[in-house]
Amino acid sequence: MDKVVLPIDKKSLFLNIFNDNEYGHTATVSTPIKQGNSTNEKLAQIFKVPKQIDFNAKPLLVDELIKNSKSKIKINNVFLFDKIAVNGELIETGKILYCMYIKEEVDSSKAQYGRIKLHYPLGLKYEDSDIDIDNKYIINLISKKVFNYAFIVNSFEYNFDNDILNFNITIIGENKIPYSKVFINNKGTGNKFNSIFNEFAESYDMEIISLRQKFGQEIGPDNYLEYMEIAKDKAMAEAELYARKKYKNDVTNISLLYPYSLYDFECREGYNTKYYLVFYTTSNNEYFNISSKKLKFINDFKNNVEILVMTNILNGPKISKYNVEQILTFSKSINSVMLRKE
C-alpha cells in the first residue's frame, strides 16, 4: 500500500464560487464515514493514515474543534498534514499545517446517534507553541496554484511513502462563478437553458446550409438550436472516444456535469491532467467561437490544454487537434462587445 484515496462529498469543499442564494448553500466541510448501518469503506481508510496526534494533550485545540457543535459529540481522531499538493503538484506551505478530524455523535436520544464524520473546516485556525493550523491559508495556496479559478475538491489522497496529502480537485469555472451555475437544479427547463447559453447563436450563417442539406429546408431560426444540439451530442461522443484512446478510463465529461465549465473534458494519466476544449461545425470550415473567459483559461493552462476542432460533424467528422500557440495564429473577428456605463 503506497497511498489511499479518500473521496468526499461533492458540495463539501469548494472555493471561489459566489453564493447567489438567499440563504444556505455553503460548503458542508464534512463527509460521513458511518451513518446508521452504512459505512463509507473508502473514506474509512482515513484511520490507516499515520498523521494522528495526541489531541487529549491539547484541550484548547479540542475546544476549538467542538465550539460550533450543536449536539453532544466527541472527537475521536485528529490528523495534521505538513506536506500538501494539488493534483500532484507540491505546494510550499512553510510551517502551516492542514487539519482534519473525526467527530462522533454520542447523544443516544438523537436520531444522529453513532454518526461519524470526517471534518475539514475552511475556517479552522489554531496555534500553540508546537503547531500552527490554518486550513484557510492552505486552501488559498491551492487556489493561487490554479490561478484562483473556482474549484471543487473531489478527494484527498495520502501517500504513505512521502507523507504528502494531495488535494484532487476539478476546476469548474471562473472566479466567483455563481453557485446556481455550478450546482444546477435540473427541474423544468434547466437543461435546455444551460445548453443554449453555452452556445453561440452567431454561428447560424455558417451552419444553416449544411444543416439543411442534412435535415431539409424546414430548419430556420426557430429550431436551429435544436439541430445544433444534435451536432453537439455527436461531437461530444466523438471527442470522448478520441480521448479514451489515450487516457482509457480516466476521462470525465466536465461540461456535462458543469455546463458553464471552461473546458469540456478532463483527462488524467497519473498526476498529468489535460483539459480538452471541443469545437464543432456541420460545415467543412475550421472555425469556432470562444469566450474571453475561455481564452484566459487556455492561456493560464496552455501546457495542459488541447483543442479539438471537428468539421462535418454529422457526415464523417474530421478531427483536428491544436495546442494553444497554434490556435492563437488563427484569424480573428469580434462578434460582440459588452458596453457598460461606469
- Tell me the pLDDT tens digit for each residue of 18-70: 999 877 778 889 999 999 899 999 999 999 999 999 999 999 999 999 988 87
Q: Structure pTM?
A: 0.89
Res 248: pLDDT:
83
Q: What percent of the chain has pLDDT over 70?
A: 94
Give the DSSP H/E element, type plus range, for residue 214.
Answer: helix 204-215
Return d(Cα 11, Cα 89) in angstroms, integer: 23
User: Mean pLDDT, to the nearest integer, of 257-275?
Assistant: 94
**Would you place residue 198 in the very low, low, confident or very high pLDDT band (cuts 50, 70, 90)?**
very low
Domain residue spans of the chain: 3-179, 184-327
* DSSP-derived pairing of the beta strands 17-18 and 177-178: parallel
Res 1: pLDDT:
56
Residue 107, SS3? coil
